[in-house]
Structure 1
Amino acid sequence: MPKLNSNLIRQNLELPNAEVIIYPRLFQKPETQRFFHELLNQIEWKQKPIKIFGKSVLQPRLTAYYGERAYTYSGVTLHPLPWNLPLLQIKEKIEPLVNTQFNGVLLNLYRDGQDYMGWHSDDEKELAPGAVISSLSFGETRRFVFRRRDNHQIKVELNLGDGDFLIMGGETQKFWQHYVPKSAKSTQPRINLTFRVIL
């Protein structure tokens, strides 16, 4: 069974109109290395198209979706693959921290620093307003940036590393966007899991 960091540190990020919590290094080596390699090799990674301004373009990263209910974002409906053992083990350990039972997880594989995630909010109609979205990272450290939806000059930047756990709840998605920019320094892959509750 996976082990959590026995010296848990909980950090509340000071963002107005948001509830953002970070558990740095929630999972630690060698556990993170095991999960990284299991997910890298056992997940059915694909580079899928999404619709941007009516045009179909390939996402600049690999993705996969597992869980119990279909989920639609960026004009594409994802039909879930069944949970596998590593995902269930991770899910079992993080759910008590957020007092939530997740029924879906969207996974992203950033192959190197040229893979990225554009600005967005996780506010699709399948997600309950204010529902918690939990993000777990394995592998390379990457920048994760918030900006206000009503003022793009207001930004807050984090570095999410191996084993870091980020929780976004409350009105975070209503008032803030986030993205993972390209990085000239990052050459190693990163796997990110975003657990969510699909209505």
Structure 2
Amino acid sequence: MRPALQASLFDGFDDVGLNDLGESVRRVTLTRGAWIDLRPGWMRGADELFERLREVVPWYAEKREMYERVVDVPRLLCFYDENAALPDPVLGQAKAALDAHYGEELGEAFRTAGLCLYRDGRDSVAWHGDRIGRSRTEDTMVAIISLGEPRSLMLRQRGGGGETIRQTLGHGDLIVMGGSCQRTWEHCVPKTARPVGPRISVQFRPFGVR
């Protein structure tokens, strides 16, 4: 049986859209040229959007070689390149709003969208930076909208040292990782033994950044 989503008390199901960015975004400066922006509750009707995406996105499972054996990737995936139609019109609106807000600072538009479905607390993503492509050597931005049940996104300096930052994200929250964040910091969504419902993350990236 598919796990149910616990709806947010503050999230309406009849109005899927975007709240303002602008001055509502809070920037947290990290070390070594990295930063994150936070905008809680950016997506209105986020739980309704979650249900729509869970139904219409062609989710697929991947396998990956790890420690000389092939294992299942602990989440479902779907990737939309720059020429693909996004699975819901509001994601196009979100991309346009992110381009308008960050375009001058980023110097380009967001081009691709990667979606992950975390089915329960056993699904996760290990410590990593999005360092495939030019983000290995250049500053960039990755914008993530969290839909569904809140989960912890952890951040730590690459190579160790310093504090570990925990951000709980869900029900339409936005986080943007910018500057050198993908090169000099790592992030993860850890497994949890707590009973949690499903979550979808939508990650917007510039071209050539994975």
Q: 2:37 corresponds to which residue?
A: 21
Change (3 A) 1:52 1:98: farther
Map Cα deviations across residues 136-163 of structure 1 (whole Å, 9 max, x no partner).
1000000111111121563111111211
Is this contact kept in 2: 1:32–1:163, CA < 8 A? Answer: yes
In the alignment, which of 109, 114, 120 is matched to residue 122 of structure 2?
114
Specify whether residues 55 and 89 from structure 1 end up closer, same or farther in structure 2 by C-alpha distance, changes over 3 A only.
farther
Of 93, 97, 101, which aligns to 1:97? Answer: 101
Matched with 1:195 is 204
Alpha-carbon spacing, 1:90–1:6, altered in 2? closer, same or farther (3 Å): closer
| 1:56-76 Cα shifts (integer Å, max 9, x gaps) | 32100101101227xxxxxxx
Among 124, 129, 132, which residue is 1:124 paired with?
A: 132
Give yes or no for the alignment of 1:169 onto 2:178. yes
Gaps of 5+ in 1: 70-80
Q: Structure 1 vs Structure 2: percent identity of aligned residues?
A: 29
CA distance in 2, matches of 1:110, 1:160: 13
| SS of aligned partner of 1:145 | strand
In terms of mean alpha carbon deviation, does 45-54 or 129-138 score higher? 45-54
- Structure 1 position 6, deviation (Å): 4.7
Give the Cα separation in 1 of the matches to 2:160 and 2:85.
40
Describe the shift of the 1:92–1:186 C-alpha distance in structure 2 as closer, same or farther (beyond 3 A). farther
Do the aligned residues in 1 keep the contact of 2:35 with 2:177 (CA within 8 Å)? yes
2:25 maps to 1:10: yes
Alignment of 1:153-164 (within 5 A): 154-164=163-173
Equivalents in 2 of 1:41, 1:143: separation in Å? Answer: 24
What residue identity is the alignment partner of 2:132?
Answer: E
Correspondence for 2:64: 50
CA contact (8 A) 2:112 2:205 kept: yes
Do the aligned residues in 2 keep the contact of 1:140 with 1:161 (CA within 8 Å)? yes
**In the alignment, does 2:145 pair up with 1:136?**
yes
Preserved CA contact (<8 Å) 2:16 2:46: no
Query: Does the CA-based 8 Å contact 1:121-1:174 persist in structure 2?
Result: yes
Distance 2:37 2:138 in 1: 18
2:92 counterpart of 1:88 = yes
| Partner Cα distance (1:107, 1:117) in 2 | 13
The answer (yes or no) to whether the contact 1:142–1:186 under 8 Å persists in 2 is: no
**In structure 2, C-alpha distance between the alignment counterparts of 1:97 and 1:56, rounded to whole Å:** 41
Q: Which amino acid aligns with 1:16?
A: T
SS of the residue 1:12 aligns to: strand
Structure 2 unmatched ranges of 5 or more: 1-14
Q: Report the number of matched residues.
A: 186
Change (3 A) 1:6 1:66: closer
Shift of 1:126: 5.0
How far off its partner does 1:92 sit? 2.5
Residues 173, 54 of structure 1: alpha-carbon distance in 2 compared, 3 angstrom cutoff: farther
What displacement does 1:82 show? Answer: 3.8
